[in-house]
Amino acid sequence: EVQLVESGGGLVQPGRSLRLSCTASGFTFGDYAMSWVRQAPGKGLEWVGFIRSKAYGGTTEYAASVKGRFTISRDDSKSIAYLQMNSLKTEDTAVYYCTRAKQQLVPDAFDIWGQGTMVTVSS
């Protein structure tokens, strides 16, 4: 079964850091680009960022709201994607979803979603 499982969420103080993990199974992780999407409580979806596969340089793209603070990386040997979140703000409070991208080059459609992990930024 194709599956994504996020972990690492929790309560963190403003200004601190947190790293989320996304463990993939059921498909060849290294062949796919991956993306993170978040959803604040009671709000809509917000795209966070995207990482291409190594075959396409493993390069990344980010939303303006997180650029310079968040970093996406991947470990294909472990089938894990990471979201490193630094300098967290209260407005980063959200459920964070890991997703598999259908396209390699651009953040287009996301066909597989994890169950999400909640991140709460509060003092």
Partner 1 sequence: QSALTQPASVSGSPGQSITISCTGTSSDVGGYNYVSWYQQHPGKAPKLMIYDVSNRPSGVSNRFSGSKSGNTASLTISGLQAEDEADYYCSSYTSSSTQVFGGGTKLTVL
41 near partner 1, judged by CB under 8 A: no
- Burial (CB < 10 A; 0-12, 13-18, 19+), residue 86, is middle
Shortest Å distance, C-beta 82 to partner 1: 19
Binding test (CB under 8 A) with partner 1, winner from 32, 50, 70, 96: 50
Q: What is the spatial distance between Cα 123 and Cα 117, in angstroms, rounded to a whole number?
A: 19
**Which residues ranging from 67 to 106 are in contact with partner 1 (CB under 8 A)?**
97, 102-103, 106
Binding test (CB under 8 A) with partner 1, winner from 62, 70, 82, 96: 62
For residue 60 the two structure tokens come to 């990344």
